[in-house]
Structure 1
Amino acid sequence: MSYNYIKVQREGAVTVVTIDRPDAYNALNAEAHREMDAALDAYEVDDDQRVAIITGAGNRAFCAGHDLKQQATGGGLDVPENGFGGLTSRAALTKPVIAAVNGIAMGGGFEIALACDIIVAAENAAFALPEPRVGIAALAGGLQRLPRAIGLKQAMGMMLTGRKVAAREGLALGFVNEVTAGNALNVARDWANEILKCSPLSIRATKEAVLRGLAVPVETAMRDQWSYLEMRAMLESADFVEGPKAFAEKRDPQWLGR
């Protein structure tokens, strides 16, 4: 598939999706949403692709959120079924996604980052949910994910004011994993390479169990995890045998993903 507003590169087992509207601070219009959705569809079903990284073109913005100019001219809030950027409502995705935040992440852009499993931020990154300042609300998961990530009071302090949070404060609050003075995408690649050392089935089982477990009591989650689809796949796999065998033989495991 050809794209007009994003770039997709496959680097071995890593898919890098770059939002490519730097003149618009990488804000997403309707077509950019559809392209992001298609790229993530392809990532989700490709067994050879094990980690995805989302970033923005240039060094000013990760994503400024929804294209308000489109809305102002009657374009509305046209987003895919899978949510903002094709990600924020993609509940069944069990493969990891990393956000390489290389500048501002505002509104829906911040919500894309929050929907990722790991956030790497450049020093110049800044985050906000400023929707109330323009008469809307953070309806792409920000209202739900931010309180879970940093606690109710800190989240309310951000959401009820729309204030901007710098990368270092995001790290202190707990929604950023790492801040770098260098290139956020390169650091995200380092995180991806660490994930690739692990069994792909174990990674998928872990993500599924963690996210499903957030909605139920701990005791229920611990009981039910044994029946989860990705957990069963891991427990019944050749990799489940290979991991301990490689450890006993003092060698690197050869993951088959099955």
Structure 2
Amino acid sequence: MTDTVSIAAQGHVRIVTLNRPEKLNAVTPEMAERLIAAVNEFNTDDDARCIILTGAGEKAFCAGSDIRTLDNYSTPWNFRNRPDYCDALRGLTKPIIAAVNGYAFGGGLETAMTCDIRIASENASFAAPEIKLGWIGGGGMAAHLSHAVGPSNAALMIMTGDPIDAQTALAWGLVSRVVPRERLLDEAMTVATAIAARAPIAAETAKVNLRAAYGMSIEDAITYERDLQTICFATEDAAEGRAAFKEKRSPNFKRR
């Protein structure tokens, strides 16, 4: 990985840091390619069980795409088909936590919403400011935001482009927790470590199940969930979980 996207390992947790703080961690095409490569690596690494995504510095999680690079696309069609970091993160099969340490604007907000869990620092703020520049988001802004905060609040954010603070994001359900900035990574690591200690196949299946439920009727969602439960129940890890429960010990999950 280049300096602008760094990766650190702590046990079964991988910490991905967007490392361009002087530009509010705005994503360049090169950084998007690095994120795509990281997702491919994590998806095939059985030792990686949970990912944390954060930004370097004290001001920003991610300010979205670097606007200075957008005129480099020769046509709008090439812009539309560019390698996209939100698309890459949607392809991640492992649970991922966004540790939002400041501005999450535009594509940065979309990036955070692509993550399964969002934890924010007290100085975090969230915005869909594209309308102020003459366009709208294209990385899942409307779909994710309307699911997260409801259609009226989503419309307020998308149609005004104005930011909301961390406490508003918490009240609206956009984030799960708000903590002091100095505790943010510790809090994210606590949650990630807990997830990494669970049965990995079950955690990955839970992610699939949650995403599928968005677009299903309640009846179809329950049927699909029951099928996924049956698949998990047949794994070696599920047998280990039952044995550990009977023997009153901690399970040793091996992703089998």
What's the secondary structure of 2:216's corresponding residue?
coil
Give CA-to-partner distance per residue, 1:32-77, whole Å, 9 cap, x none: 1111111111111111100001111111110000101112465774
The equivalent residue for 1:220 is 220
What's the secondary structure of 2:16's corresponding residue?
strand
* Structure 2: gaps of 5 or more residues: none
Distance 1:219 1:18, change over 3 A: same
Whole-angstrom distance in 1 between the partners of 2:51 and 2:111: 13
Taking structure 1 as the reference length, what is the TM-score of the superposition? 0.91
Report the number of matched residues: 252
The equivalent residue for 2:53 is 54
Question: Which has the larger helix fraction?
Answer: 2
Whole-angstrom distance in 2 between the partners of 1:124 and 1:79: 34
- Superposition RMSD in Å: 1.9
What's the secondary structure of 1:113's corresponding residue?
helix
Whole-angstrom distance in 2 between the partners of 1:255 and 1:22: 38
Whole-angstrom distance in 1 between the partners of 2:80 and 2:7: 22
What's the CA shift for 1:242? Answer: 1.4
Distance 1:201 1:89, change over 3 A: closer
Give the 5 Å matches for 1:203-242: 203-228=203-228, 231=229, 233-242=231-240
Whole-angstrom distance in 1 between the partners of 2:88 and 2:178: 23
The equivalent residue for 2:85 is 84
Taking structure 2 as the reference length, what is the TM-score of the superposition? 0.92
Whole-angstrom distance in 1 between the partners of 2:82 and 2:252: 37
Give the 5 Å matches for 1:157-236: 157-181=156-180, 182-228=182-228, 231=229, 233-236=231-234
Moved more, 101-110 or 240-249: 240-249
Percent identity of paired positions between Structure 1 and Structure 2? 34
What's the CA shift for 1:110? Answer: 0.5
CA contact (8 A) 2:5 2:18 kept: yes
The equivalent residue for 2:253 is 255
Give the 5 Å matches for 1:63-212: 63-72=62-71, 77=79, 81=83, 83-85=84-86, 87-90=88-91, 93-181=92-180, 182-212=182-212
Matching residue's letter, 2:225: Q
What's the secondary structure of 2:160's corresponding residue?
coil
* Structure 1: gaps of 5 or more residues: none
The equivalent residue for 2:10 is 11
Matching residue's letter, 1:25: L
Distance 1:147 1:211, change over 3 A: same
Matching residue's letter, 2:196: L
Distance 1:20 1:250, change over 3 A: same
